[in-house]
Each structure stands twice: as C-alpha cells, then as structure tokens.
Amino acid sequence: MDKTSMRHKIERFAKQEIGDRFPLNFEEAKRIYDLAKTLADDFDDDVLHAAAMLHAVIQGEQDFEKKAALYASDFLHSIGFPDEKIKKVVDCIENQMTKGRPKSIEAKMLHDAICLDFMGATGIAKLSGMTLYQWWGKTSLKDILELWEDFVADACYKSLYLKKSKKIGAWKRKFVKLAVKQLKAELMLGEVR
C-alpha cells in the first residue's frame, strides 16, 4: 500500500473513531499534527502522523493513553503499517500527556504539541468547552482556576522537552497567567460564581 492511501486510511479511521466531539476531535488531531511537525527537523513523519491522528481514539477513561495505544496498534496492524513504526506510534501515544516520559523525537514532538495546545487561547477554549466534571471533577470556577494554574500554566509548561516548544510554551504560559490573574480578580469581586 502506498504512503498516501495509508494516510487516508489512518485519517478516515481517526475521523470515524474520534468524530466531532469537542474539544478532542479530528480537527484537534490535525492541529496537533500540524504543530508537532514544526517542533523538530529530523523525524519519521509516518510515525508522527499516525500518532497524532490516533492519540485520542480513546478518551475520558482511566489509563486512556495505554488503551488508545493498544487500539491504534491493532488498527495499524490491520492495514499493514510497518511493525517497527507501530512500536514507535505506541510509545508516542502512551507518553502523550504531562506524566508521560517520551523517548523518541516523534514522541517528544507529539507530547509537546499536545501540551502546547492545552496552553494559551486554545487551551482556555478547550478546557472551557470540555466537560470538566467528567475529566477532572471540576464543578466551580475556583476549581477551573486551579486547573489552569496547576495543569495548564505549570504542568504542561514544565513537561515540555524541545527548545522550540519551550519558547512557544513561555509565550502561551504568559497568556494563561494573565487569564488566571483576571479570573482571580473577577472571583474576588464576587461578580462571577
């Protein structure tokens, strides 16, 4: 199977499995892939593409990274994706979040792109749009404020690996800190409950 038809099968499967559930939808997978490609120069684009497209095929479950990696692996085997590349895709997906410890350049690129996507305006839009209770049990603006401070401004930023990611992350972190400052001021005024 040629590279183009392999990519089409991966994207079609991702679109079918992920769908249009905001915020972790097919649009987000494409955005993650496009951002990840800018973070380094020497990488296996087949691995990065498959990992980015399939990183969210399982969502909102305990150990979703491992489940998504297994599901992606089974699918990639079924379409004849090379075994040595499947192992790399699995590593990328298993280590995608802040607690992950990516080793390969592709895994670091995916990890950092996901963290960067949670930061700045995109992060605020994603976190505001998702069911915060389902994911983190957040039920108030004070809880959301904690999430922005602890996860977005700190955990995502501190877990970045690549130099370019850290530069972009510093810029996005500054934005999040301004948003947090504004929300704190609004909560202290009692205008937002």
2-30 pLDDT, tens digit each: 778 999 999 999 998 887 765 677 888 88
Does the N-terminal peptide bond of residue 102 adopt cis geometry, omega within 30 degrees of 0? no
pLDDT at 97: 74
Q: Which residue has the higher pLDDT, 25 or 46?
A: 46
Distance from C-alpha of 112 to C-alpha of 162, rounded to nearest angstrom: 7
Q: What gap in Å lies between CA 29 and CA 23, rounded to an integer?
A: 10
CB 56 within 8 A of CB 16: no
Residue 142: the pLDDT is 65
Give the Cβ contact number of residue 117 at 10 Å: 20
How many whole angstroms separate alpha carbon 136 and alpha carbon 41?
35
Give the CATH number of the domain where residue 31 resides.
Answer: 1.10.3210.50
How far apart are alpha carbons 133 and 61 in whole angstroms? 13
> CA 58 to CA 135: how far, in whole Å?
13
- Take residue 149 and report the two structure tokens written for it: 């401070």
Residues of the domain holding 178: 3-189
Q: How is residue 43 annotated by DSSP?
A: -
Q: What is the DSSP letter of 82?
A: -
Check if the beta carbon of residue 68 is closer than 8 Å to that of residue 58.
Answer: yes
Does position 133 have pLDDT exceeding 60, yes or no? no
Looking at residue 52, its pLDDT comes to: 94
**CA 76/CA 82 separation, integer angstroms:** 8
Number of domains in the chain: 1
